């Protein structure tokens, strides 16, 4: 079985493929690095056709995302494939790979789903088995990047994948909760979550599709205690005065 290493280069090379819309005002533009004839995109989906050449693409966001401690980010997609002989990865990358994390399969021969924290350089990414998910940046060992943590869901069926990221004050870090079906796991992403690019890679002998790509950021609201109005204060004063008069009698 031929396994072709793929590399995502976050550079100006590639084929522009139109707008991406993840909903809730989060938009960007699709770029295909290679195998343009094997990839179809629209605003909220991407399909990799049958090919062992490892097609890759990414969304460059119109506005970079940098979470604050009062914000929660959710991201979801529906993954479909009719074979286990395929692998994919979705990487969230900032400037120079800072604060990168990835969601994807752990190997060609299974449907294990996992997430990991990585330190990615500008050379890109692919899969090199480590920490329950596969990461590297190509054939050369000196291009393999650092994996600092991982969390696996084990074997899952293709379907809806959901991720939620929120700050945990006890851990003093952002925690991602990854869910698929009835299985879930958590992963510590560290004190910073910032990215401006979402990269997609796939390899295998049959089409793999990601539909319903969606993202949202919500900010926690605090309920302010209203200050008493002048009328309320006057009423309280009258009540207190009446009580004093009753005690004197």
- For the chain, the domains span 15-248
pLDDT at 54 over 50: yes
Confidence tier at 129 by pLDDT (50, 70, 90): very low
Q: Is the overall model pTM greater than 0.85, yes or no?
A: no
CA–CA distance from 93 to each of 31, 192, 223, 224 (Å)?
15, 12, 34, 37
> Could you tell me the two tokens for 128?
């090199």
Confidence tier at 227 by pLDDT (50, 70, 90): low
Q: Which of 22-31, 75-84, 103-112, 113-122 has the highest mean pLDDT?
A: 22-31
Task: Average the pLDDT over 219-240 and give the result.
Answer: 62
More confident residue, 81 or 53: 81
Confidence tier at 173 by pLDDT (50, 70, 90): very high
What is the side-by-side strand order in the sheet with 160-168? 39-42, 45-48, 208-219, 71-80, 160-168, 173-180, 183-190
What is the phi-psi region of residue 24: left when phi exceeds 0, alpha when psi lies from -120 to 50, beta otherwise?
left
What's the whole-number average pLDDT of the chain? 76
More confident residue, 157 or 84: 157
- What is the pLDDT, as a whole number, of residue 41? 94
CATH code: domain 15-248 is 2.60.120
Residue with tokens 């109005």: 229
More confident residue, 106 or 160: 160
More confident residue, 148 or 204: 204
CB 8 within 8 A of CB 24: no
H-helix segments, the chain: 230-248
């Amino acid at each position: 079985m031929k396994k072709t290493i793929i590399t995502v280069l976050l550079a100006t090379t590639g084929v522009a493929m139109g707008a991406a819309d993840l909903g809730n005002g989060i938009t960007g533009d699709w770029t295909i690095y290679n195998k343009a004839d094997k990839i179809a995109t629209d605003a909220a989906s991407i399909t990799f056709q049958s090919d062992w050449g490892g097609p890759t693409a990414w969304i460059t966001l119109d506005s970079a995302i940098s979470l604050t401690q009062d914000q929660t980010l959710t991201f979801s997609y529906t993954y479909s494939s009719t074979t286990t002989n395929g692998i994919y990865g979705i990487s969230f990358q900032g400037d120079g790979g800072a604060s990168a994390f990835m969601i994807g399969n752990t190997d060609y021969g299974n449907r294990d789903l996992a997430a990991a924290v990585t330190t990615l350089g500008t050379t890109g990414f692919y899969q090199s088995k480590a920490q329950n998910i596969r990461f590297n940046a190509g054939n050369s060992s000196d291009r393999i990047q650092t994996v600092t943590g991982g969390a696996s869901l084990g074997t899952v069926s293709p379907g809806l994948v959901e991720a939620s990221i929120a700050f945990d004050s006890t851990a003093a870090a952002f925690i991602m909760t990854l869910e698929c079906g009835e299985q879930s796991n958590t992963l510590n992403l560290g004190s910073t979550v910032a990215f401006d690019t979402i990269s997609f890679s796939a390899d295998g002998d049959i089409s793999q599709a990601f539909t319903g790509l969606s993202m949202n950021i919500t900010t926690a609201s605090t309920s302010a205690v209203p200050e008493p109005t002048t009328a309320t204060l006057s009423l309280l004063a009258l009540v207190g005065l009446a009580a004093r008069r009753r005690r004197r009698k």
